[in-house]
Chain A
Amino acid sequence: MWALALAAVLGLVAGVLSGLFGVGGGILIVPLLVAFAAYPPKTAMATSLAAILFTATAAAASHAANGNVAWKEAALIGLPAVVGAVAGAEIHQRLSTRWMVLGFSVFLAVVALDLLAG
Chain B
Amino acid sequence: MRYLVIGLIAGVFSALFGVGGGIVVVPLLILVAHFSERPAMGTSLAAIGLIALVGAVSYAFHGELKPGAAAVVGLPAAVGAVLGTGLQQRIQARTLSLGFAALLAGIAIWLLV
Q: A85-B12, A100-B16 are in contact. Are A19 and B50 (CB under 8 A)?
A: no
The CA-CA distance from A80 to B46 in the complex, in Å, is 14
Q: Count how many chain A residues have C-beta atoms less than 8 Å from C-beta atoms of the other chain.
A: 89
Cβ contact within 8 Å between B50 and A89:
no
Cβ contact within 8 Å between A30 and B19:
yes
Q: Main SS of the interface on chain B? A: helix
Q: Main SS of the interface on chain A? A: helix
How many residues of B sit at the interface, in one of the four size bands? Answer: 35 or more
Cβ contact within 8 Å between B13 and A88:
yes
Cβ contact within 8 Å between B55 and A85:
yes
> What mask results when residues 22 to 38 of chain B are scored 1 for a CB within 8 Å of chain A, else 0?
11111101110101001
Cβ contact within 8 Å between B38 and A16:
no
In the assembled complex, the CB of A103 is this many whole angstroms from the nearest CB of chain B, namely 10
Give chain A residues whose Cβ lies under 8 Å from the Cβ of B96: 20-21
* A-B interface, 10 closest residue pairs, ranked by CB to CB distance from nearest: A15-B80, A84-B11, A19-B84, A22-B41, A45-B18, A88-B15, A24-B20, A26-B19, A63-B42, A23-B22
Residues of B within 8 A of A (CB): 3-27, 29-31, 33, 35, 38-56, 59-60, 64-67, 69-70, 72-89, 91, 94, 96-105, 107-109, 111-112
Residues of A within 8 A of B (CB): 4, 7-27, 29-30, 33, 39, 41-60, 62-64, 66, 68-71, 73-89, 91-92, 100-102, 104-109, 111-116, 118
11 example contacts (A-B, Cβ-Cβ < 8 A) are as follows A18-B81, A23-B48, A24-B22, A46-B65, A46-B66, A47-B66, A50-B67, A51-B70, A59-B85, A66-B42, A70-B42
